[in-house]
Amino acid sequence: MNAPTSLPPAPPAKLSLRGVGKNFRARGNDIRALENISLDVSEGEFVCLLGPSGCGKSTLLNIVAGLERADEGTLLCDGEPVTDPGRDRMMMFQESALFPWLDVLENVLFSLRLKPGMNAAERREVAEFHLQLVGLEKFRHAFVHELSGGMKQRVALARALAPNPRVLLMDEPFAALDALTREQLYGDLQRIWRDRRKTILFVTHNVREAVCLGDRVVLLSPHPGRIQREFRVELPRPRDINSVELARHATEIMAELKGRNGGTASERKVA
């Protein structure tokens, strides 16, 4: 008799959240920011968290970053519990949070300062490589005040990528930029994600942005923050945010938002 054949076990999800809940207390009020969030993100997947203001997107990202602790549930990265921030999960915010007293290259080098096993020359090489990746090698010695908003976010992206994190966490990183600059960055981010094979969790309240970037769009509803529905986006890449196909997907997601919330004020904040 032949030995029974068995399939190899499926690889564990890069990120795995089970029953995650989070409460805040502010000015005497209890706020249920997140409730029963269960989500698996595969290695190399680009997942967008979409939802109206206050639905807990940033809180969820901060928990994955290890900046906040969940009150309930579990969070695993590569099967290991996440309890603290780590270089394997780098975060990028709406404001670039660059150091104004350092030049562009020094800002990127800063994120490599604690990287073990690298000497100064190797750090410099890695920092230069990442500045090139975001198209800013000619600005290595510029200071933050000399950069446009889009350039600052490019430096922030280079800084987040330089320590070679497995997971990139992005909290509305392009929200403060003009439409044209944003479009360039959508193209660049898709290229970098594909070439560098990162797992990305990207927060936005912009439906088209979510459809343009995500393999999957996870829709959160507010009060308390819960997963309302997930959409898989199978449009070819690189995606053009102005394409008719992309608009069709965005309309479908918008309809789900309106159907559930009945066109409430908070829903209208999702643009």
- Residues at the site binding ligand ATP, with contacts judged by CB under 6 A: 24, 26, 31, 33, 51, 53-59, 205
For residue 204, the minimal CB distance to Mg ion (Å) is 10
Partner interacting with residue 56 (select from Mg ion, ligand ATP, none; CB below 5-8 Å by kind): ligand ATP
Which of 20, 22, 33, 58 touches Mg ion (CB under 5 A)? 58
Phi, psi dihedral angles at 91 (to 5 degrees)? -110, 145
Comparison of 51 and 66: residue with beta carbon closer to ligand ATP:
51
Locus of tokens 């690889």: 11
Count of chain residues binding Mg ion (CB under 5 A):
1
Comparison of 163 and 225: residue with beta carbon closer to ligand ATP:
225
For residue 158, the minimal CB distance to ligand ATP (Å) is 24
State the CB neighbour count (10 A cutoff) for residue 90: 24
Say if residues 47 and 57 touch (Cβ distance below 8 Å): no
Most distant CA atoms of the chain, gap in Å: 74
Q: How would you write 22-78 as a 3-class SS string? A: EEEEECCEEEEEEEEEEEEECCCCEEEEECCCCCCHHHHHHHHHCCCCCCEEEEEEC
Select from 54-62, 161-169, 177-185, 206-214 the region that touches Mg ion (CB under 5 A).
54-62
Q: How far apart are CA 190 and CA 45, in angstroms?
A: 12
Comparison of 51 and 165: residue with beta carbon closer to ligand ATP:
51
Instruction: Indicate the length of the chain as a whole number.
Output: 271
Query: Does residue 62 touch Mg ion according to CB under 5 A?
Result: no
For residue 63, the minimal CB distance to ligand ATP (Å) is 10
For residue 223, the minimal CB distance to ligand ATP (Å) is 7
Give one word for 197, left, alpha or beta, with left for phi > 0 and alpha for psi -120 to 50.
left
Partner interacting with residue 140 (select from ligand ATP, Mg ion, none; CB below 5-8 Å by kind): none
Binding site for Mg ion (CB under 5 A): 58
